[in-house]
Amino acid sequence: RYESVPEFAEALGIAVDTYYRIQKGEHARFSTMKKIARALGVQPADIAEFAPAPKHPQDGDDVGVK
């Protein structure tokens, strides 16, 4: 549908550099996530890659300890 990354990024409403950072797995601002979700016709929460990372107990936490 799009002939180039710049054209696709423009359609999403984001900068080309931002597109490449997201492709590398780097953090995106919520406003950027909303733009991408809007362009795809979904909610940001519907995009698995935007889900927050699961929290892991830190060493020394009393999780599971009675």
Each residue of 23-41: pLDDT tens digit? 998 888 999 999 999 988 9
The span from the CA of 31 to the CA of 65, in Å, is 40
> How confident is the model at residue 10, as a pLDDT?
94
Residue 15 has pLDDT above 90, yes or no: yes
> How confident is the model at residue 65, as a pLDDT?
47
The span from the CA of 27 to the CA of 39, in Å, is 19
pTM for this model (two decimals): 0.67
- Find the mean pLDDT for residues 34-58: 83
Which has the closest alpha carbon to 22: 55, 42, 31?
Answer: 31
